[in-house]
Structure 1
Amino acid sequence: MLHGALPFLGPRRPRFALETERLVLRPPRMDDHAVWVRLRRDSAPFLKPWEPVWAPDHFTRAAFRNRVRWAERMVEEGRGLPMFLFRASDDQLLGALTLDNLRRGPAQAATLGYWIGEKHARRGYMAEALGAVRDHAFGVMGLSRLEAATLPENAASRGLLERSGFRHEGRAEAYLQIGGRWRDHVLYAALRGDRLPG
């Protein structure tokens, strides 16, 4: 599934990227702003039930610039991998996936978060991206554990995690504020020994 990580190849190429059969995963940059806004706006009814309340400046260039700088620092400091998902055939933005809350030392663990635009959902893109990130995290990064959480009623997300080698571990009460309310989440994890073939 994973074709490999790409090195820095010039000012238009990302400093870090993963390639799969259909996707390129790389950190956001400022020239992604317009397509990101369009995809998020078009998908708002699809995304908002599962996400924290969007800030009033959610779509502004200033807020996006902060997002890009945050992503750059995360990668440079080895604290995580915030990545946008692009379809390799036409460079269309599909969604995003973030490997965050990276813990080294005895933990060697990180947390996954993700979203996909409504028109690109249920086509296997996010499963492909999760597989690439899982392989990179367990292989190149040497992590032992990946964690993810989702709302109990989010059947699509739960199914995605289970198909991607994550196991249900329990329930966390008042885990995150979603839609302005503290919501319980179900917890999933994948361990390095659970890697799926392919």
Structure 2
Amino acid sequence: MPAPPLSTVRLELHPATAEDAAAVLAWQRANRTHLQAWEPLRADAFYTLEAQRARLQAQADATASGAALHWLIVCKQRDVLIGECALTNLVRGLFQACHLGFALAASAQGQGLMAEALGSVIEHAFAELDLHRIMANYRPENLRSAQLLRRLGFEREGFARAYLKINGQWADHVLTSLLNPAHAS
């Protein structure tokens, strides 16, 4: 199940492939400091073309296996990569759920661009994939992500202590989810 291209008023979301390695590397390098607090600790080797090709190939493999969908977010007006988003840990059967992950360039913050992109991804997840639940977790101090997820309709479901190792430290996370309104009982 390949990730289909998605389009919004201001954005193009296209499936991430190894051919995008140079653009992703430039985006990663430009946003290294900005993203550091929210991502795993990255060795300098992560910021190489080879590492990005391998990362994008792993994402493509996860997509091919049905475990994930990964998109790159491109601003139409400037034709520049501004972010990434993904539905990962896709589980079918009785669960019909996934995790939502996203990252946006520092230069694109505060313009509603991620809300626009994720709105399209959520619509695809519910209408086309018929998922029941999308889960998204964030660090308590990440107020931008908290606000974005609330705006998109995600509800807090819990708090996980030392949930993920972020920037070299085990970090607490707020657990949220969004349920497919078509599955309302």
TM-score with structure 2 setting the length: 0.91
Aligned to 2:49: 61
Structure 2: which 5+ runs fail to align? none
Alignment of 1:4-153 (within 5 A): 16-153=4-141
Q: Distance between the aligned counterparts of 1:53 and 1:105, measured in 2?
A: 34
- Taking only the aligned residue pairs, the percentage that are identical comes to 38
CA contact (8 A) 1:50 1:178 kept: yes
Deviations 1:165-191 (A, max 9, x none): 111111011110011111110011000
Moved over 3 A (4+): none
Distance 1:98 1:17, change over 3 A: same
Q: Distance between the aligned counterparts of 2:62 and 2:18, measured in 1?
A: 16
Aligned to 2:178: 190
Alignment of 1:166 with 2:154, yes or no, is yes
Q: Distance between the aligned counterparts of 2:173 and 2:91, measured in 1?
A: 21
Paired residue secondary structure (2:21): helix
CA contact (8 A) 1:111 1:148 kept: yes
Q: Tell me the CA shift for residue 194 of structure 1.
A: 8.2
- Count of equivalent residues: 182
**Corresponding letter in the other structure for 1:88:** K
Distance 1:98 1:86, change over 3 A: same
